[in-house]
Chains A and B, each alone.
Chain A
Amino acid sequence: MSAQRRFPRSIDALHELFAFTAETLADESGDGALSRTVDFVLEELFTNIVKYGRGATPVLVEMAAIEGGVQVTLTDFDAEPFDVTRAPPVDVTLPAESRQPGGLGLHLIRKLVDSIEYRHSPRDRCSRITFRKTRAITPAGTRPETGETNAGD
């Protein structure tokens, strides 16, 4: 399995993005946990590009099968550098009155994926974010019920 598609830089493109995930991971076995997680991570990364990016070029999303899961790459053309893997940690132990909506997405991504890499090329102002998600259950720190690993821990 391998697929790629370009999406306009608009929140309204989310439904197209989710349709792409469903179509590409259509053969996924199980309860849909892989698709839900890929959607979650894609939505967060894509909406960050829409909200904070200044370019006009559509965002390229590529998916490729890896053993037990999928590798996804988002390419943002004409982007300022912003390393999503180095976003500040969120204190999730604070009480409700001290919590602020927002900021959780990048924190959660690091919990949900197996790995995530960020690269920015100053020469062509191109940012690439690649994450991998498998249904693997074996590594320490996994949650047996879902197979979700804690990449950021």
Chain B
Amino acid sequence: MLAIDFGADGCVVVSGRLDAAQAAAAQAFLDRVEGAVTLDCSTLEYLSSAGLGVLLKTQKRLLASAGRLRLTGVSRHLQDIFAYSGFDQIFEIEPAR
């Protein structure tokens, strides 16, 4: 299952599995954020290409209005997916500790 909501520090926390069945829910949430947004991925277990599409669509919208989406807590597995996708050049990525 997927959970996405605002965390205590104002960042957006995404947890669980962001797959094709959950992409619409994630997109609906991210369509409401504005400005410089940090997405905490430290409890994101799985991300499919449908999830990548959600992140890209959000980043494009935010960049068009001088905002941006920053990804933190990114696991080694997700770092590989982002590198293969070229997303490491599109997003500021902070690896998981």
Binding site for A on B (CB under 8 A): 17, 19-21, 46, 48-50, 52-54, 56-57, 59-60, 63-64, 76-77, 80-81, 84-86, 89-90
A66: min CB distance to chain B, Å: 22
Cβ of A95 under 8 Å from chain B: yes
Interface of A is mostly: helix
Contact pick for A111, options B54, B64, B84, CB 8 Å: B84
Contact (A96, B52) CB under 8 Å given A33-B77, A108-B81, A145-B80: no
Contact (A104, B85) CB under 8 Å given A14-B21, A43-B20, A99-B90: yes
Tell me the bound Cα distance from A146 to B74 in angstroms: 15
B26: min CB distance to chain A, Å: 12
Q: Which residues of chain A are near B89, meaning CB under 8 Å?
A: 93, 95
B80 close to A39 (CB less than 8 A): no
Interface of B is mostly: helix
Bin the interface of chain A by size.
20 to 34
| Closest chain A residue to B49, Cβ basis | A105
B52: min CB distance to chain A, Å: 6
Binding site for B on A (CB under 8 A): 11-12, 14-15, 18, 33, 36, 39-40, 43-44, 47, 91-97, 99, 101-102, 104-105, 107-108, 111-112, 143, 145-146, 148
Interchain Cβ contacts within 8 Å, total number: 76
Q: Which residues of chain B are near A47, meaning CB under 8 Å?
A: 20, 50
B20 close to A11 (CB less than 8 A): yes
